[in-house]
Amino acid sequence: MDIKEFSDDLKTIHPEIHNVIRLKNKFQNDIKLVKLELLSNTFREELLKTGKIRANGLIFDIDEYLSPATVLICTKCRGIGHFRRQCTQIDETCNVCGHNCPDLRQHQCSNINKCIHCDGNHLSNSIKCPVIKEFRADLTKKLFSNKPAILRHNNNNNNQENQNYIHNTIDYPLLPLSQRPPTNNTSVMNKLDEVLIGMAKLNESFERIAKKQYELEQFINHKNEQDEYLLNKVEQLTLSNNDTKENMIKNEKLIKNLILPTLELISKFLYHSNLKANGVDDADFKCQIETKRALLDLVLTGKKDCI
- The ranges assigned to domains in the chain are 3-61, 69-151
What type of residue is 141? K
Q: Which pLDDT score is estimated for 182?
A: 52
- Alpha carbon dihedral 186, 191, 193, 198, in 10-degree steps, equals 170
User: Given this model, what pLDDT does residue 219 score?
Assistant: 92
* Residue (of 273, 269, 264) closest to 294 by Cα position: 264
What is the spatial distance between Cα 270 and Cα 275, in angstroms, rounded to a whole number? 9
pLDDT at 42: 87
- Mean pLDDT within 44-64: 87
As to burial, measured by CB atoms within 10 angstroms (0-12 exposed, 13-18 middle, 19+ buried), residue 128 is exposed
Exposed e or buried b for every residue in 130-155, given b needs 16+ CB within 10 A?
eebeebbeebbeeeeeeeeeeeeeee
Q: What is the mean pLDDT of residues 13-25?
A: 88
Q: What confidence tens digit (pLDDT) does each residue in 226-253 have?
A: 999 999 999 999 888 888 888 888 877 7
Q: What is the per-residue DSSP string for the chain?
A: --HHHHHHHHHHH-TTEEEEEEEE-TTS-EEEEEEEEES-HHHHHHHHHH-EEEETTEEEE-----PPPPPPB-TTT--BSS-STT---SSEE-TTT--EES-GGG---------TTT--SS-TT-TT-HHHHHHHHHHHHHHHHHHHHHHHHHHHHHHHHHHH----GGGSPPPPPPSSPPP-HHHHHHHHHHHHHHHHHHHHHHHHHHHHHHHHHHHHHHHHHHHHHHHHHHHHHHHHHHHHHHHHHHHHHHIIIIIHHHHHHHHHHHHHHTB-TTS-B-HHHHHHHHHHHHHHHHHHTTSS---
What pTM did the predictor assign? 0.33
Instruction: For the chain, state the CA radius of gyration.
Output: 55
Spatial distance between the Cα atoms of 223 and 191, rounded to a whole number of angstroms: 47
Average pLDDT over residues 178-186: 55
The answer, yes or no, to whether residue 184 has pLDDT greater than 90, is no
Query: Over 50: is that where the pLDDT of 150 sits?
Result: no
Which of 134-148, 167-181, 271-285 has the least mean pLDDT?
167-181
pLDDT score of 122: 92
Q: What are the two backbone dihedrals, phi and then psi, of residue 24, each rounded to the nearest 5 degrees?
A: -125, 155
Whether 133 has a pLDDT exceeding 90, the answer reads no
Q: What is the pLDDT of residue 96?
A: 92
Mean pLDDT of the chain: 78
What per-residue confidence (pLDDT) applies to 278?
47
Which residues are registered as beta bridge partners of 173?
none
